[in-house]
Amino acid sequence: MIFEYKFVQLSLLSLILYSLLAAIIGTFVVLRKTTYISGGISHAAFGGLGLGVFLSLNPILVAIPFTLIFTSMMFYLGKKFKIENDSTVSIIWSLGMSLGIILLNFKKGYTGYMLGYLFGNVLSINTFDILLLSVVLVFTVIIFFLFIKEFIFISLDPEYAKIVGINYNIFDTVFYLFVTLGTVVMIKISGVIVNIIFLTIAPLITKNLFTKIYKIIFFNFLLNVFFSLTGLFISYKLDFPSGPSIVLVSIATFIIFKIFKNL
């Protein structure tokens, strides 16, 4: 029986944890219309992964501080030189990727890593990855549920949030901090390229169905579990890579939802 294998158990557990993390962060990424910025952050992480491999350190542990510092610095410079936000994101996006590819190129025999980090490989998840994912998930749950009103307010109407006394800059920074943490720890599962699809597809469906944020997050979680397990099953049966298989399932579900909704 396939479930007897430890790597399969770890993969399944990681997909459950990952589904909840993506459900929480993805809800606000979509509602704040920050999909493009979040995509940029995810791609910036590739530079950190390359640096980790280059320094022979744990790539994910290097990618977390690298992405935080790199994206903060780029947004600061973008503001200083009066560059539009979307242009700054484009620079972050391609610069992060380029740095990662160049650094990986210095290490012979590491090109296999590149594909794994670009598209993800849930079957390569180990106990340390699960631990890291769990820690980020616990902090995400605590912060987002403790400050749910504030996150709803800054997503719904940033200007009014400031008027009622919410410190917009602090919550905006915390939001991007968790988007960075979340996307980096999810890279091994979904990869930098397809990461953002995991965050966006479920909320794009559920935001049309519900008006309560907890319901949206809960059903995002269920949908993510469905996407992940079905994708993994297809990957196992057809010998497809796991990340892209999950993406195909989620996009197919989204298209079917859109067709039925417009009938």
State which of residues 115, 164, 251, 252 lies at the interface with other proteins (CB under 8 A). Answer: 164
Among 159, 237, 259, 262, binds other proteins (CB under 8 A): 159
**Spatial CB neighbours of 108, under 8 Å, sequence gap ≥ 6:** none
Q: How far is the CB of 233 from other proteins (least distance, A)?
A: 31
Site string for other proteins, 9-38 (x = CB under 8 A): ----------------------x-------
Cβ-in-10-Å burial (0-12, 13-18, 19+) of 168 comes to middle
Tokens 């307010």 locate to 153
Count of residues of this chain found to bind other proteins when the rule CB under 8 A is applied: 24
**Encoding tokens for residue 248?**
């195909």
Does 57 sit near other proteins (CB under 8 A)?
A: no
Site membership for other proteins, residue 177 (CB under 8 A): no
CA distance 113 to 60: 12
Binding segment for other proteins among 44-52, 62-70, 119-127, 209-217 (CB under 8 A)? 209-217
262 touching other proteins, by CB under 8 A: no
Residue 216 binding other proteins, by CB under 8 A:
yes
Q: Assess contact for 192 and 211: CB atoms under 8 A.
A: no
Q: How far apart are CA 44 and CA 46, in angstroms?
A: 5
Tokens of 99: 């740095």
Paired tokens of 203:
């909320």
Asked if 211 interacts with other proteins (CB under 8 A), we say yes
> Which of 135, 157, 222, 255 contacts other proteins by CB under 8 A?
157
Report the residue from 110, 139, 147, 240 that binds other proteins according to the rule CB under 8 A: 147
Residue 107's Cβ-side half-sphere holds a number of Cα atoms within 13 Å equal to: 19
Q: Are 182 and 206 in contact (CB under 8 A)?
A: no
| Interacting residues toward other proteins by CB under 8 A | 31, 146-147, 149-150, 152-153, 155-157, 159-160, 162-166, 207-208, 210-213, 216
